Structure 1
Amino acid sequence: MPHRILAIDDEKLNLRVLSGLLRSLGYEAVLADSGEKALAALDASIDLILLDVMMPDMDGFTVARKIRERPDGADVPIIMVTALTGKQDRLSAVEAGANDFIAKPIDMTELRVRMGSLLKMKQSQDQVKRYQAELEAMVRIRTQALRLALENLEESQKTILTAHRETLHRLAAAAEFKDADTANHITRMSRYCAALASWLGLHDGETELVEQASPMHDIGKIGIPDSILLKPGALTPEEWKVMQKHTIFGARILGSSSFELLRAGEIIALSHHEKWDGSGYPSGLSGEDIPLFGRICAVADVFDALTSRRPYKDAFSNEVSLDIMKTGRGSHFDPRILDLFLEHFDEILAIKASYVD
């Protein structure tokens, strides 16, 4: 495609001369006999402008300034065609945005050389713009693709994590499945534990972790014989020793994992029957030697056990259950955790009411 040259001159004869010169040099001439017509003819296809200075309604300096104000004219080369040779005239032309000058009458060789130089510059600028536009488009496409990939990865990770959690919850439910009276026990437990963790000031990640891990506290009951697990009466000392092993069985089931949720579940399974005064099992830990998650779960587990029916007992009322738990403050339970439980007891009851067996 030939270069398109916008020639602007109020003298029609001069325009015809310019048109002939441009065609002889292999260019396509776009002619305008006023500044207004020139501005109307200007678009992104114009490669260079030949601009007369002395025009009646809008002189060349004004036209040049208006061209430079437009996005499609900011970089197009402008050659001022003028009989003015004074230093101030040339400075005014440069200030208005002109790139070069040609004196009248026009010499064809000079016109060819000056236009050729500016057109090469314009061509280089256009190539840079095209490359930049292509690069920006590529960056946009790559960024969008990366964003979609990250969203897909995040969604996949969420799906995998959800599947892991659901599997663990179902495994925990399997340990409770033999006793129909504890259908919502693990759900209430997890909500109680999350509430206590939040009231203790644990950050959101730890609160969510204890909520997701606490349902696995009794997973070791899978290894306890039904004759003991479902016995309607009191257990013998030998049977009680077997029942206590569910903490160890649970820790073995969940142990040796690199998955944070399983590690938390292991800690809870092993420590939720430890007591503040050291009289619990299986290790006889006391005070803050008992892992915090285990201390949290101890309060939640005992309350839910007291207020739920079991093969060996009926459910106690909330009031009776609270009285029993208060006697365990500082012996069975971490005093600070129990105090928070009592302080927010209305919220505990709201959770309890949401997950009735």
Structure 2
Amino acid sequence: MKILIVDDDRTNLLIMSAIVRRLDDADPVTMESPLDAAGWLDGNEPDLILLDQMMPDMDGIDLLRRIRDDMRLDNVPVVMITANTAVDIRVRALDQGCNDFLTKPIIVPEVQARLRNLLALRQSRALLRDRAALLAAEVERVTAALQRQGEELVNRLSRAAEYRDPETGAHIERMALYSRLIAEASGCGSAFAQELLKAAPMHDIGKIGIADMILLKPARLTPEEMALMRQHTVIGHRILADSDIPLLRLAAEIALSHHEKYDGSGYPSGLAGKAIPLSGRIVAIADVFDALTSPRPYKQPWTTEEARTYMMANRGSHFDPALLDAFLFRWDEVCAIHESHAETLPELNREHATGGFS
């Protein structure tokens, strides 16, 4: 361990160096000039500092103040060596962060005992700091692993849902990208927007629990069939809810709420306005827009301009006005997502144009 000794008296430096060398695993670094010591400390971190109080150019308290202003040296123990027993000197030194005092003439056994104690304290603090850093790194590693596991689970469940849902993987990707865009455009923050991108593909996972005769019906559903179809929101929430993984909890919230409408006429709970979770209000816009502009076995896709007109007509009734405005404000990006992830189906009639999201 390095012990810096600063004293303008060379004899004192020799004496203190000899004492330090008697300690186990300790090497002295000596400086006659406090200015030289200050320069050396700019690039070095000793384990203990011994300062003479009375020195030319810069006294011990001034050098101590400079040491404590350096965040790297904030926890390095400092001992003031002084022949002045005045109380005000000690108080000033303590105020500046001095850890201990040695009074001249020094008593060798006392110096050795004090230095051993301070070095032991320094070692303990270093061990605690290293242990805290190791624990923080381990927590970060485990958290990242859980995050990756959550994302993998979401991806696998989304893939499983694709086998039951007539909607394509391209739809899931597009509406997830639209969801992130809306979150970013409305000022939700990049972290939430990124989580929404990962969770949104799970919005219709509950369709796993819907019978094929309803889910795959190529025509408009009857009122009774529609009531059963709407249960996919509740089923999806049951599948995903109460997870320890935050991403799955967000996906559960989306699954349950993305068919709610801003005026309270949606399902399954008839929530209105800000009572609908933010994630559900965002995904509602993304999901409906993509349903309108996507081909389905029962309909031709609408153009983006036709869909835009429909969305604006339902501003404040189906859709959160502020979120819809944010979506439309980024219209060029919306169209870019639509074009870059396009899909095609054969020519079909448009009788059931809104069937995919009612």
TM-score by length of 1: 0.62
Deviation, 1:244, is: 1.5
Letter matched to residue 45 of structure 1? A
Match of 1:233 among 196, 199, 219: 219
Deviation, 1:126, is: 2.6
Alignment partners' CA distance in 2, 1:74 and 1:283 = 73
Identity %: 42
Q: Residue 173 of structure 1 contacts residue 186 of structure 1 at CA under 8 Å; is this kept in 2?
A: no
Q: Residue 67 of structure 1 contacts residue 73 of structure 1 at CA under 8 Å; is this kept in 2?
A: no
Match of 1:127 among 100, 113, 120: 113
Alignment partners' CA distance in 1, 2:263 and 2:51 = 83
Q: Residue 181 of structure 1 contacts residue 308 of structure 1 at CA under 8 Å; is this kept in 2?
A: no
Q: Residue 182 of structure 1 contacts residue 308 of structure 1 at CA under 8 Å; is this kept in 2?
A: no
1:45 equivalent in alignment to 2:18: yes
Alignment partners' CA distance in 1, 2:35 and 2:289 = 77
Give runs of aligned pairs for residues 1-357 of structure 1, distance below 5 A: 44-45=17-18, 121-179=107-165, 182-204=168-190, 206-257=192-243, 260-353=246-339, 355-356=341-342
Letter matched to residue 341 of structure 1? F
Alpha carbons of structure 1 residues 152 and 345: separation in structure 2 relative to 1, 3 Å: same
Alignment partners' CA distance in 2, 1:278 and 1:68 = 75
Q: What does the per-residue CA deviation read over 1:124-150, in whole Å, with 9 as the maximum and x for residues that have no partner?
A: 213322332243233223312320221
Alpha carbons of structure 1 residues 199 and 229: separation in structure 2 relative to 1, 3 Å: same
Alignment partners' CA distance in 1, 2:263 and 2:50 = 85
Q: What does the per-residue CA deviation read over 1:221-266, in whole Å, with 9 as the maximum and x for residues that have no partner?
A: 1101223223333333333222221112112222345654444333
Q: Which has the larger radius of gyration?
A: 1
Letter matched to residue 295 of structure 1? R
Deviation, 1:39, is: 10
| Secondary structure, aligned partner of 1:162 | helix
Please give the root-mean-square deviation of Cα atoms over the aligned residues, in Å.
3.8
Q: Which 5+ residue runs of structure 2 have no aligned equivalent? A: 1-9, 21-30, 38-48, 53-81, 85-103, 344-358
Letter matched to residue 117 of structure 2? Y
Alignment partners' CA distance in 2, 1:236 and 1:262 = 32
Deviation, 1:208, is: 4.4
Q: What does the per-residue CA deviation read over 1:161-184, in whole Å, with 9 as the maximum and x for residues that have no partner?
A: 221232123213322234576213
| Secondary structure, aligned partner of 2:228 | helix
Alignment partners' CA distance in 2, 1:318 and 1:263 = 32
Q: What does the per-residue CA deviation read over 1:24-66, in whole Å, with 9 as the maximum and x for residues that have no partner?
A: xxxxxxxxxxxxx98998882379xxxxxxxxxxxxxxxxx96
Alignment partners' CA distance in 2, 1:40 and 1:145 = 35
Deviation, 1:220, is: 0.5
Deviation, 1:151, is: 0.7
Give the match for residue 115 of structure 1. Answer: none
Alpha carbons of structure 1 residues 324 and 42: separation in structure 2 relative to 1, 3 Å: same
Alignment partners' CA distance in 1, 2:306 and 2:339 = 17
| Secondary structure, aligned partner of 1:184 | helix
Letter matched to residue 348 of structure 1? V
Alignment partners' CA distance in 2, 1:68 and 1:276 = 71
- Number of equivalent positions: 266
Alpha carbons of structure 1 residues 155 and 354: separation in structure 2 relative to 1, 3 Å: farther
Letter matched to residue 124 of structure 1? E
